[in-house]
Structure 1
């Protein structure tokens, strides 16, 4: 009698145990890099905060500040992505736009500079656009970076102060030069402010840890970037690496004293590696509110 043929139920499974384990291991190894490189680094998160102070002029009560940082144009961040970011910013209808440095990673061409300016000109917040320089801007053609931002409608503040007037109130925006490659001069900034301590002072400084050096200065809000929040963070371990100047205050909101508030933006781009993991790129929306002196006390 001939041997019986195996029935369909007895057929060899499509994947045996060894093949299944190999596929599972490949998924575990390749999944996080694919997620970090293709999804999360393009998945912008919007962070909202309300910042209150009795020094906010009544005319500025409720204004909306949008902060962006660390675009790193050229290192896996192209002009199409910048255009997408600008469309997102437009939906927030900011009163004031602040950019806290590192427009480029290392290089910027004349053609790119013109396109950057053209795209940024689409944004016209009523109180203006202000920027400061980052360390990567200095590693490239810093003059061309300043030109692109200026032609894009930004006031590029390098140890300078710009007063904003609205109604009967005035708010002061300053920008410090980059800590690592520039020459920040807080004394020069403070000399441009009124002598009274009751003014509201918004300071842009690329590296957040500059606050360690001037936390006792008359600054109400410092906006910074630089750290990328660590860019790649692992569960239980945190950031794999954070650059000098961003280690103490790597991401988020910090209250340094009764007056001084610091916010560190995680940035939009990447550097060195085109990955973000558990550290999404960020646009920050801050609302300034006037707080009564009696409540503050």
Structure 2
């Protein structure tokens, strides 16, 4: 209760402080009332949705939109409050000085004009993240991007020179609310005409039933050498308050069954050899393994029990911390690891080839894209779906296409 009271008090104080900029720019009382109706409605809805909320009860679309609306309001608040506070840091000492050194008329004119200028500037700057977040909720979460990479390996079997794989990750089907947009993305995946499609975990948020409305949609996925999948931390149902252990176990079995009906071959600490012209590559799939309190069911040794040291190896492991903590140090050389999990935190700034930033980097060393260590590579997919915040800002949903080439990468 105390945390809720503290949160509401801080929100209202920040809201009132930010309102000063709005009130300086416009004297229209109708707009003032509208301002408070919007912000108080956002706050009230958030409190209503989450007071007494337990993650084990499930996260609905209404919860997601409550989070999205709060973020859309609070991020501009931060900009507004920050700029107004900085102005006051300079303004208050100057006000004291001018009180004793200039006349009343000059004091009034000076501060009124200066406050109005800063208020307009602060509102203009705050409008940028506000518009970005609104766009991210309305359009960004379905703004699918196909990212293509060419990976060179001297020891790639000759038969697999030019072999293409498509990776998708973190579908989180329970978050979707527009089946047409998901169908578009599935068509986009099929258009890549890859040899194999690999899904690296988190098919649902919590329950297998979330996937049922999209079963026929994902059932359209096609690849010559098949579809393969692994489990992510959300797929086990660990975040649900199940009536019994048996119910939780049955949910996982149901998810496995639905995935198989879609056409996925699940690799649960196991290996599938992809063969071509008498040569092969090992496709190794582990169950979830991650640091930071996440399930560690992945068993790399068990998964690779039938793999030879000289096999070319592609590893599917949901959490990129597994690569950092175990895979790179393993006796076997894993040429390419495919992960997801981070979502790139669904927020950031990316200028391809120039700049990439997301708050995700503060938690994950490897949070998006290609990384290399000891001659081994990992691709961290930014995710196909979204979770909690019902949007994406700057970090768009990703379909990864990787072409394997034999030889040395050009300089």
* Partner residue of 1:53 out of 138, 153, 158: 153
What are structure 1's unaligned runs of at least 5 residues?
Answer: 1-16
Aligned to 2:310: 198
Q: In the TM superposition, what are the counterparts of 1:89-104 in structure 2 within 5 Å?
A: 89-104=189-204
Query: Shift in Å at residue 222 of structure 1?
Result: 0.3
Closer, same or farther in 2 for the Cα pair 1:18/1:274, shift >3 Å? same
Closer, same or farther in 2 for the Cα pair 1:198/1:72, shift >3 Å? same
Closer, same or farther in 2 for the Cα pair 1:27/1:113, shift >3 Å? closer
Higher relative contact order (CA 8 A, sep 6+): 1
Q: In the TM superposition, what are the counterparts of 1:22-171 in structure 2 within 5 Å?
A: 24=124, 27-28=127-128, 30-109=130-209, 113-139=211-237, 141-171=251-281
SS of the residue corresponding to residue 172 of structure 1 reads: strand
Say if 1:227 and 1:242, in contact at 8 Å, map to a contact too. no
Closer, same or farther in 2 for the Cα pair 1:181/1:266, shift >3 Å? same
Query: Shift in Å at residue 240 of structure 1?
Result: 3.2
Q: Is residue 340 of structure 2 the alignment partner of residue 225 of structure 1?
A: yes
SS of the residue corresponding to residue 301 of structure 2 reads: helix
Closer, same or farther in 2 for the Cα pair 1:132/1:285, shift >3 Å? same
Higher strand share: 1
Say if 2:164 and 2:401, in contact at 8 Å, map to a contact too. yes
What are structure 2's unaligned runs of at least 5 residues?
Answer: 1-23, 28-119, 241-250
Say if 1:113 and 1:144, in contact at 8 Å, map to a contact too. no
Higher helix share: 2
**Alignment partners' CA distance in 2, 1:96 and 1:89:** 11
Say if 1:117 and 1:153, in contact at 8 Å, map to a contact too. no
Tell me how many residue pairs correspond in the alignment. 272
What is the CA RMSD across the aligned residues, in angstroms? 2.8
TM-score of the superposed pair, with normalisation by structure 2: 0.61
**Alignment partners' CA distance in 2, 1:237 and 1:129:** 31
Say if 2:170 and 2:201, in contact at 8 Å, map to a contact too. yes
